[in-house]
Amino acid sequence: MRTIKYLFQKGNSIASVPDELYGSFVEHLGRAVYSGIYEPGHPKADKNGFREDVASMIKELGISTVRYPGGNFVSGYNWRDGIGPKAERPVRLDYAWLSKETNQFGNDEFYTWCQKYDLSPMVAVNLGTGTPQDAGYFIEYCNFPGGTTLSDLRKSHGRAEPYNFKLWCLGNEMDGPWQTCHLEAQEYVRKAHETAKIMRWVDPDIKLVGCGSATTLLPTYPEWDRIVLEGLYDDIDFLSCHHYFENSTGKTEDFLGSYVLMENFIHTIESTADFVKAKLRSKKDMMISFDEWNIWSIEGEPWMNYFADPSHRFTEKPPLLEQSYTLLDALVFGGLMCTLINHCDRVRMASLAQLVNVIAPIFTKEGGPAIAQTIFYPFKMVSEYGRGEALRFFADVPCIETVHGQTRTLHSSAVYNEERGEIAFFVLNLGKESARIELKTEGFGDKEELVSHTILSGPDLLVRNTFETPNAVMSRDSALTEAEVKCLVTDVPALSFNRYVVKVN
Ligand code: AHR
C-alpha cells in the first residue's frame, strides 16, 4: 500500500482559527426555541425556562456565536413583540413558517440565555417588512446606554446595562423569492446601506454582515454577490454565505465529496469579493460569514408535506425540518468542517444551521430527554481540538471520479495549538479502502508522537441515533500501537472521519 505523506511546518499557516468558526443558529422555526432551548416546566429547565440539558450539550459542542432570531422568520418579525412583560406580548402569525408565534421568548430572553451560557449573540434585523428606522430603534433599545425612550424602556424591563450586541446581520437571504418582502439586488443595496448608516450612528463599534446569495441554485448567483459587494463594500465587514448539502445523486461517494461544492462556493465568493476590491481600489479584504451550513435533505423530508393538512397551518411549535441524521451525513459533515478550517483566512465566522431540533445536532422530546444526533460528533471532534493556527500542507492524495469531477479520497485539515504543543489532524476517508498516511512535522520542537486517534465510522452508513438507541453512532477513541505512536504512520479506515493528535513539544 502506498503511504501518503503529510508535512506540517511551523509557520506555514493559513490563519488563526477564529472561535467564531464554531458558531450556530437558533431561529424561531418549528421547535428550535419552544421545547428546544426553552421549555418552562420541563424537569431540566431553570427558573427562566431554559433547558439545562440542552445547554450542557451546547457547551460540549463548544459553540461560540449564536445567530438569532432568523432566518426567514426575521423578515416578518417585529422585535418589539419579544420584549418586556411576557403576559403583554402579542401572539402573531409567522409568515415564513406558517406558524403561530407566542413571543414568550424574544430578544430579552435571548440576551439572558447567551449571558448565562457564555454564548456570543449575532442578531439579525428585519429588512423584509422592517424599515431602516425599525433597525435603528432596535439597536437603540439594545445598545444605547440610556436617556432615550427606547433605552429607558430596556431599563424599565430590568436591564440597566446595554446588551452591547456587536454582531448584526443586515436581513436574511433577501435574494430568495421565498423571503417575506424579497428584494432585487439594487433594492437590497439601497435599503441595507441606509440601515447600516443608522445602525452605525447609534453604535459605531458594531460589525455588520451583508446578505450574500441564499443558494448557488438561484439564477441571480453570483451576480447578486457582485452587486451587493459593489454597493455595500464600505458598509459591511462580512458577506454571508449560505449552503446546504444533500445526497442529490443518491451515490455515497458523490455525497461524501460535498466538500468540493463548499470549496467551489467559497472560491467563487472570494474571487467576486477580490474583483470588487480591485474595481473599487479598496484596501480592505472582505471577510465571509458562512452563517448557514449543514446537511439538509430538502427533498423527500416529511416537513415538505406538513402544510398539506390545513389544520397544521399556524399552529404553535410545529415539528418542522426535524431531520434525523445518519452516520453517512456525519461523515459528509466532517469533510465540510475541514473545508471551513482550510479557508479560515477569509471565512472568519460560520454558523451551523441550526442548533436544536431544526436540522440540528441536538434533538429533544418535549417534556423528555435530549439526544445527540450523528452530526454532533464531527462538530465536537473538530471544535475541541481545532483551535489555534490552521496549517497549510501538501499531500499527494489519490482521486476518484464523482459528480464533482476528480475528488480527493482523503480530505483533511490541520490545526496547531501552541499552548498545548499539539497538532490536530482531521481527515475524512471517503474511499472504500483504508489509506496509509505518515504525519511529518518540522520546526515545532524535538518531540513528535502520535498520542490519540478518535474515529467516527461504522458498518452501516444509514444508522441514526434515536430516543430508543441514542448512542448508536458516537465518536470513539481508538488505541494506537507503539509503532504508530513513534513512527506516525497509520491506516485511516475506509469511510471514516478521524482526528489524530500529534504531540510536538
Ligand atoms: O435554516 C433554515 C432556513 O434556511 C433559514 O430560515 C433560511 O435562512 C434558509 O433558507
DSSP codes of every residue in 132-162: HHHHHHHHHHHH--SSSHHHHHHHHTT--S-
Q: pLDDT tens digits, residue range 382-397?
A: 999 999 999 999 999 9
Taking the C-alpha atoms of residue 383 and residue 379, their distance in angstroms, rounded to an integer, is 6
Q: Are residues 320 and 466 in the same domain?
A: no
Owning domain of residue 272: 18-385
Q: Domain with 363 in it: what CATH number?
A: 3.20.20.80
Instruction: State how many domains the chain has.
Output: 2
Q: Are residues 173 and 207 in the same domain?
A: yes
Given 365, 385, 405, which residue is the final one in a domain?
Answer: 385
Given 385, 400, 434, which residue is the final one in a domain?
Answer: 385
Q: Which of 140, 173, 246, 263 is catalytic?
A: 173
Q: Are residues 394 and 380 in the same domain?
A: no
Residue bearing the CA closest to ligand 1, atom 5: 71
Q: How many CB atoms lie within 10 A of CB 365?
A: 13
Q: Are residues 252 and 154 in the same domain?
A: yes
Residue bearing the CA closest to ligand 1, atom 9: 71
How large is the angle between the packed helices 327-342 and 376-385, nearest 10 degrees? 30
Taking the C-alpha atoms of residue 292 and residue 269, their distance in angstroms, rounded to an integer, is 15
Taking the C-alpha atoms of residue 299 and residue 302, their distance in angstroms, rounded to an integer, is 9
E-state strands within 192-252: 207-210, 238-245
Q: Are residues 107 and 205 in the same domain?
A: yes
Residue bearing the CA closest to ligand 1, atom 4: 71
pLDDT score at 301? 61
Taking the C-alpha atoms of residue 367 and residue 370, their distance in angstroms, rounded to an integer, is 10
Q: Are residues 303 and 213 in the same domain?
A: yes
Q: Are residues 310 and 395 in the same domain?
A: no
Taking the C-alpha atoms of residue 11 and residue 197, their distance in angstroms, rounded to an integer, is 40
Q: Which of 292, 389, 422, 448 is catalytic?
A: 292
C-alpha cell at 487: 513512527
Q: How many CB atoms lie within 10 A of CB 301?
A: 17
- The per-residue pLDDT string of the chain (505 residues; one tens digit each, 9 = 90 and over) reads 899 999 999 999 999 999 999 999 999 999 999 999 999 999 999 999 999 999 999 999 999 999 999 999 999 999 999 999 999 999 999 999 999 999 999 999 999 999 999 999 999 999 999 999 999 999 999 999 999 999 999 999 999 999 999 999 999 999 999 999 999 999 999 999 999 999 999 999 999 999 999 999 999 999 999 999 999 999 999 999 999 999 999 999 999 999 999 999 999 999 999 999 999 999 999 999 999 999 998 766 666 678 888 999 999 999 999 999 999 999 999 999 999 999 999 999 999 999 999 999 999 999 999 999 999 999 999 999 999 999 999 999 999 999 999 999 999 999 999 999 999 999 999 999 999 999 999 999 888 999 999 999 999 999 999 999 999 999 999 999 999 999 999 999 999 999 999 999 8
Q: Domain with 393 in it: what CATH number?
A: 2.60.40.1180
Asked if 373 and 324 touch (Cβ cutoff 8 Å), the reply is yes
- HEC string for 354-401: CCECCCCCEEECCCCCEEECCCHHHHHHHHHHCCCEEECCCCCCCEEE
Assess whether 422 carries a catalytic annotation.
no
Given 355, 385, 415, which residue is the final one in a domain?
Answer: 385
C-alpha cell at 362: 441536538
Helices (H) and strands (E) in the chain, counts: 11, 25
**Conformation bin of residue 181: beta by default, left when phi > 0, alpha when psi is -120 to 50:** left
Q: Which residues line ligand 1 (CB under 6 A)?
A: 27, 70-72, 172-173, 214, 292, 353-354
Q: Are residues 225 and 329 in the same domain?
A: yes
DSSP string, 329-350: HHHHHHHHHHHHHHTTTTEEEE
Q: Are residues 367 and 426 in the same domain?
A: no
pLDDT score at 449? 97
Taking the C-alpha atoms of residue 145 and residue 136, their distance in angstroms, rounded to an integer, is 14
Tell me, in angstroms, the distance from the centre of ligand 1 to residue 71's CA: 5
Q: Which ligand 1 atom lies nearest to the CA of residue 294?
A: 1
45: which strand partners? 51
Pocket test for ligand 1, best of 27, 73, 218, 290 (most atoms within 8 A of CB): 27
Q: Are residues 422 and 381 in the same domain?
A: no
Tell me, in angstroms, the distance from the centre of ligand 1 to residue 267's CA: 22
How large is the angle between the packed helices 185-202 and 132-143, nearest 10 degrees? 30
pLDDT score at 305? 79
Taking the C-alpha atoms of residue 59 and residue 61, their distance in angstroms, rounded to an integer, is 5
Pocket test for ligand 1, best of 95, 101, 292 (most atoms within 8 A of CB): 292
Tell me, in angstroms, the distance from the centre of ligand 1 to residue 334's CA: 21
Q: Are residues 97 and 117 in the same domain?
A: yes
Taking the C-alpha atoms of residue 227 and residue 272, their distance in angstroms, rounded to an integer, is 10
pTM for this predicted structure: 0.97
Pocket test for ligand 1, best of 72, 211, 297, 355 (most atoms within 8 A of CB): 72
DSSP string, 30-82: TTSTBTTTB-TT-TTB-TTSBBHHHHHHHHHHT--EEEES-SGGGGG--GGGG
Q: Are residues 277 and 290 in the same domain?
A: yes
Tell me, in angstroms, the distance from the centre of ligand 1 to residue 72's CA: 6
